[in-house]
Homo-oligomer: A and B are copies of this chain.
Amino acid sequence: MSDAVAPAGYDPSAYPPFAVTSDIVVLTIRGGELSVLLVERGNEPYAGCWALPGGFVDIDEPGEETARRELVEETGLEISSFHLEQLRTYSAPQRDPRMRVVSTAYLAFLPDLPAPVAGDDAARARFFAVRDIEAGEVTLAFDHDQILADAVERARSKIEYTTLAAAFVEKPFTLGDLRRVYECVWGTRLHPSNFARKVLSTPGFVRSLDVRGASQFEGGRVGALYETGDATVLHPAILRPTADEEDER
């Protein structure tokens, strides 16, 4: 941004050849597991490997728009609107063996999509459980393991102090559905009663629909239905249980 020693006047071809890309980390809850959308690479390098969806930023296109566009192009997903935020930018000189690629990663939260994810550009696209990737069962192309780790940490942290957990569930949801989001993202169990008390005492977190209906989940008594409220931040936050013991379902 400074005017100090520009590499070379205004001749574009004389600038260092940077490629600028956007990658997108799409997180959702599928089958009780925090999951991420990956595409299979068709070309070298890392051909056949799984990677985050992404692509080159057009010269007159905002990076965020690139992320939205690539998500549709590579996966066929057509979602009207969803939460998308910038995660961070990865620019280590050797992160792509071909050339210097500066990539800005974006993070999206989606409710579970019944729509089958169909590849378009990319060979294949599907959701993977984050747990399996963290366990090393799948290794991602480039530095995408790191990007995913940063994204998951951002998600785990962000649902603490914002109402973004609601972005993982579809409109009519029960408090149990919402609680399961926290449990899946954090990998812990929460006390149902205390959770409900907390959510309901936070103005604007959820709005009651004054109806009872089937949960998005299985068995048990059906709970009251809610929709997302106006609030965006939680004050005070819902803190993750301190990592003493974290047992799973």
Contact = CB atoms under 8 A, between A and B. Distances in A.
Interface stretch (A14-22, A76-84, A188-196): A14-22
A100 interface: yes
B62 A2 contact: no
Given A1-B51, A17-B13, A51-B2, A91 B74 contact: no
A2 B70 contact: yes
Nearest to A88: B86
Contacts of A141: 1
A176 interface: no
Interface in A124-174: 141-142, 144
A201 to B, nearest CB: 16
A63 B91 contact: yes
B86 A4 contact: no
A51 B3 CA distance: 10
23 contacts: A1-B144, A2-B53, A2-B55, A2-B122, A3-B42, A3-B44, A4-B55, A4-B74, A5-B55, A10-B98, A10-B99, A15-B19, A16-B20, A16-B59, A59-B93, A59-B100, A60-B100, A62-B91, A86-B89, A88-B89, A235-B239, A236-B239, A237-B237
Given A2-B23, A3-B43, 5 more contacts: A1-B55, A15-B18, A57-B91, A86-B88, A102-B104
Q: What 10 A-B pairs come out closest when comparing CB atoms? A: A12-B17, A3-B43, A16-B59, A4-B121, A1-B54, A2-B55, A89-B89, A13-B13, A63-B91, A2-B54
